[in-house]
């Protein structure tokens, strides 16, 4: 059986360390490993022609029934970059499992697949270490992995989206635009997690001071967290009106007002938006006052806070009237078609989660689509897979399953 490994390298990941896989002075290498013919193709994601050429090769190999594996050399954001390119070129995801060599800052995608949170990038003498990696990919377990789509809309007159963008040597705020007009709807695909709250505010501040060193970036992030602890941060009750689950799949933003829903929770305080009045009549109330609403597709968050959902078993944050709901949720699995929502009631609890488990509270679990409604005149921070934004006067966020479902390589113990 013949195998073809396509390495898509983001050379700037990990403080430019990922570029070591492009320094072999060869676009292709061939050898036998464990009596299997192996073809390895190296692709720089910064070279558009090279990317397109190797995506065409993948499709050709698939037609010949060659066992194709795509390996991403980079961080979590690079994974979705490669997935988007594969989708654009109509690559068959069912026969093309994806693995990763982690070079990012958080590397949560890599952690849940068993490949760890970092790599030294040492290929070894005569590529010995690299061949060991290939051997591990050959023995890896193939697992389904869900992807999700997020559509966030802001007020058509006063709304906007902001992010931090590098301009020369400086990082500055940028108002997102589309066709030279202010962007009113942000559409993103998600693999790991999505959140609204103080964690995204910390990340937004971190983006202003991001460095080329993964180690320095962790220090910068820590300092931003300490700084935000000294500030007054808007909470979920102040920003979000509530959350509903739509009773039909494959809905669009234009259709949501015509689709029946079940209300999962409303927050405390009156909702002044006329189109969201049914939330005020609901008996399901979010208890406490979370500083962050966190939506998790995987069991790793923010660079290694693991199994948040499973560790807060029995802690349900939604009440029906005065009665707290029973915990009838199931364990988390990134390939089961469900997604999980949790909250943190304090910054200390959120920071301690990686050391002392069980600080979160369970809010919801399901297949969606989910509709999150916002209160008037708010400007919350949010993040999608570690990409940070601020929304000015948002109206709602729609979270639904992506039409794309990928397969991934999970490291086996042997």
pLDDT at 276 over 70: no
Please answer whether residues 306 and 296 qualify as being in contact, where contact means their C-beta atoms are separated by less than 8 angstroms: no
Q: Which tokens is 176 given? A: 């997102």
Q: When comparing pLDDT for 90 and 351, which is higher? A: 90
Rounded to two decimals, the pTM is 0.91
- Taking CA atoms, 409 is separated from 101, 138, 284, 298, in Å, by 11, 9, 40, 15
Tell me the pLDDT tens digit for each residue of 184-222. 999 999 999 999 999 999 888 777 766 666 677 667 666
Structure confidence at residue 104 (pLDDT): 84
Mean per-residue pLDDT, 166-193: 90
User: Average pLDDT of the chain?
Assistant: 89
pLDDT at 316 over 80: yes
Mean per-residue pLDDT, 250-278: 82
Rounded Cα–Cα distance for residues 366 and 61 (Å): 37
Q: Which range among 128-142, 168-182, 191-205 shows the weakest confidence by mean pLDDT?
A: 168-182
Give the pLDDT band of residue 54 (cuts 50, 70, 90). Answer: very high
**In the block, residue with structure tokens 């193709």:** 41
Please answer whether residues 41 and 27 qualify as being in contact, where contact means their C-beta atoms are separated by less than 8 angstroms: yes
Give the pLDDT band of residue 273 (cuts 50, 70, 90). Answer: low
Give the pLDDT band of residue 304 (cuts 50, 70, 90). Answer: confident
Give the pLDDT band of residue 321 (cuts 50, 70, 90). Answer: confident
pLDDT at 269 over 80: no
Please answer whether residues 7 and 73 qualify as being in contact, where contact means their C-beta atoms are separated by less than 8 angstroms: yes
Reduced to 3 states (helix: H, G, I; strand: E, B; else coil), residue 35 is coil
Tell me the pLDDT tens digit for each residue of 29-45. 888 887 888 999 999 99
Tell me the pLDDT tens digit for each residue of 326-366. 889 999 999 999 999 999 999 889 888 988 999 999 999 99
Give the pLDDT band of residue 225 (cuts 50, 70, 90). Answer: low
- Taking CA atoms, 366 is separated from 51, 210, 225, 265, 407, in Å, by 36, 35, 31, 14, 21
Structure confidence at residue 383 (pLDDT): 95
Tell me the pLDDT tens digit for each residue of 94-121. 999 999 999 888 899 999 999 998 887 7
Give the pLDDT band of residue 52 (cuts 50, 70, 90). Answer: very high
Q: How many residues does the chain have?
A: 414
Please answer whether residues 392 and 159 qualify as being in contact, where contact means their C-beta atoms are separated by less than 8 angstroms: yes
Please report the DSSP string for 172-202 in residue order.
EEEE-EETTEE--EEEEEESSEEEEEHHHHH
- 257, 243, 280, 261: which is closest to 365 by C-alpha? 243
- 256, 282, 262: which is closest to 271 by C-alpha? 282
């Amino acid at each position: 059986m013949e195998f073809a490994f396509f390495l898509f390298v983001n050379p700037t990941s990990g403080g430019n360390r990922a570029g070591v896989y492009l320094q072999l002075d060869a676009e292709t290498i061939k050898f036998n490993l464990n009596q299997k013919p192996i073809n390895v193709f190296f692709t720089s994601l910064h070279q558009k022609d090279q990317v397109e050429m190797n995506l065409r090769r993948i499709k050709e190999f698939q037609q010949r029934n060659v066992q194709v594996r795509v390996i991403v050399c980079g961080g979590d954001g690079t994974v979705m970059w490669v997935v988007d390119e594969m989708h654009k070129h109509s690559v068959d995801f069912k026969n093309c499992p994806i693995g990763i060599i982690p070079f990012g800052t958080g590397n949560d995608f890599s952690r849940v697949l068993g490949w760890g949170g970092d790599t030294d990038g040492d290929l070894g003498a005569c590529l010995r270490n690299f061949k060991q990696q290939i051997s591990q990919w050959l023995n890896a377990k193939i697992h389904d992995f869900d992807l999700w789509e997020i559509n966030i809309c802001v007020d058509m007159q006063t709304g906007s989206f902001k992010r931090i963008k590098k301009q020369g040597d400086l990082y500055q705020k940028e108002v997102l635009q589309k066709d030279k007009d202010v962007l009113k709807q942000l559409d993103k695909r998600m693999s790991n997690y999505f959140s609204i709250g103080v964690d995204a505010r910390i990340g937004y501040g971190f983006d202003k001071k991001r460095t080329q060193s993964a180690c320095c970036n962790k220090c910068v992030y820590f300092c931003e967290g300490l700084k935000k602890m000294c500030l007054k941060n808007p909470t979920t009750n102040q920003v979000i009106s509530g959350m509903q689950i739509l009773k039909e799949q494959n809905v669009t933003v234009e259709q949501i007002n015509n689709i029946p829903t079940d209300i999962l929770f409303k927050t405390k305080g009156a909702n002044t938006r006329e189109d969201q009045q049914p939330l005020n009549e609901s008996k399901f109330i979010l208890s406490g006052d979370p500083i962050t609403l966190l939506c998790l597709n995987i069991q790793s968050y923010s660079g290694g806070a693991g199994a948040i959902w499973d560790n807060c078993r029995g802690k349900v944050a939604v009440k029906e009237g005065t009665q707290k709901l029973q915990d009838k949720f199931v364990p988390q699995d990134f390939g089961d078609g469900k997604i999980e929502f949790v909250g943190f009631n304090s910054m200390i609890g959120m920071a301690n989660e990686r050391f002392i488990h069980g600080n979160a509270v369970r809010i919801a679990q399901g297949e969606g689509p989910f509709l999150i409604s916002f209160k008037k005149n708010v400007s919350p921070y949010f993040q999608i897979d570690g990409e940070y934004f601020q929304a000015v006067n948002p109206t709602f966020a729609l979270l639904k399953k992506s039409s794309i479902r990928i397969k991934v390589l999970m490291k086996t113990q042997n």
